[in-house]
Structure 1
Amino acid sequence: MKLSVYCSGSIAKGASDGGKLTWSDTERMEVTKGAAPHEVVFLNPDDPITDPNNTLGQFGRDMYQVMVATAVIVDARERRGLGIGVEMAAAGNFGTPVIVVAPPNSKYRADMLHYRGVTVDDYVHPHVAALSAAIVDDFLAAGEALARIVDAGALPAMACVPSWLGRAIDEYRDNVLGADIPMLEALRQLDRTPG
């Protein structure tokens, strides 16, 4: 079966981002290996966009990809920003499962944490815990979790698209998608028509 994964995580925006952990071919190969025998098509938020001045369309592209993905895999190996939280919340609204790669004793997961006046064992950041279908140590395990979710038939039905997401997705579909070669190719690989 062909599956699609939205690669949520930091995007290198310039030279100052050179040290950030980001999605690469290594992470994609690990997910693919873990998801076997399923084939995985990756939806990449860092593909070039045709009109960088169309910020609503850029946001719409990310939300469209989250909406059409089989699952969102979040790279949470280190601190992430606002966009990842919005992607996770949108995925929850769309019914798209979220798999978070958060290694033990990293920013969002700890064996033990002194937190709000108490000690918490096996801590997972509350937002990550609440919005995730699975929290795993690495990208191979993320692919395995993806396969388990799909094989169990645990993909929920699409929820309604709220207006705050709908405007952006409509802008993307109407004014950007037709010239978005990487996304059109991904849809072709998935045997899906744009829209």
Structure 2
Amino acid sequence: MKLAVYCSGSIAKGAADRGKLTWTTAERMEVTKGAAPHEVVFLTPDDPITDPGNTLGQFGRDMYQVMVASAVIVDARERRGLGIGVEMAAAGGFGTPVIVVAPPESKYRAAVLEYRGAVVRDYVHPHVAALATAVVDDFAAAGAALAGLVATGPLPAKAAVPDWLAAAIGEYRDNVLAGDAPMLRALRELAAVPG
């Protein structure tokens, strides 16, 4: 079975981002190995967009990818920003499962954490815990969790586009998608677009 994964995580936007952990071929290969025998098609937010000045369309592209994905895999190996939280919340609205790669003793997980005047054991950041379908240690485990999602049957049908995302997804679908070669290629691979 072909499964689409939206690669959520930091994007290297310039020289200041060179030291950040981002999705690379290595992470994609680990997910692919873990998901075997399923084939994985990756939807990547860092593909070039035809009109970078169209910020609504650019946001719409990310949300469209989250919507059509079989699952969102979040790279939470280190501190992440606003965009990842929005992607996780949108995934919840669509009914897209969220798998979070948060290694033990990282920003979002700890065996023991002093938190709000208490000691918490097996801490997972509250936003991650609330929005994640699974929290795993590494990308191979994320692939295995992805395979596990479909092991018992098909994924549930997607929910309708929430009102707060309708304008952005509409902008992308109506004015950007036709010129988005990487996304059109991925959709053809997933047999979601005829021709």
- Percent of aligned positions that are identical: 79
Matched position secondary structure for 2:106: coil
Matched position secondary structure for 1:61: helix
Alpha-carbon separation, structure 2, partners of 1:110 and 1:33: 27
Q: Give the match for residue 133 of structure 1.
A: 133
Q: Give the match for residue 24 of structure 1.
A: 24
Alpha-carbon separation, structure 2, partners of 1:4 and 1:150: 12
Q: Cα distance, 1:193 vs. partner?
A: 1.4
RMSD over aligned CA atoms reads 0.9
Alpha-carbon separation, structure 2, partners of 1:102 and 1:154: 26
Structure 1 alignment gaps of length 5 or more: none
Alpha-carbon separation, structure 1, partners of 2:82 and 2:75: 13
Answer with 47-56 or 157-166: which moved more: 157-166
Per-residue Cα deviation, 1:39-61 (whole angstroms, up to 9, x for no partner): 00000000000000000000000
Matched position secondary structure for 1:27: helix
Q: Give the match for residue 180 of structure 1.
A: 180
Greater than 4 Å deviation, 4+ residue runs = none
Contact 1:95 1:155 in 2 (8 A): no
Aligned length: 194
Q: Give the match for residue 14 of structure 2.
A: 14
TM-score (norm: length of structure 1): 0.98
Q: Cα distance, 1:155 vs. partner?
A: 2.3
Matched position secondary structure for 1:111: strand
Q: Cα distance, 1:157 vs. partner?
A: 2.2
Give the AA of the match of 1:156: P
Counterparts of 1:35-114 in structure 2, within 5 Å, are: 35-114=35-114
TM-score (norm: length of structure 2): 0.98
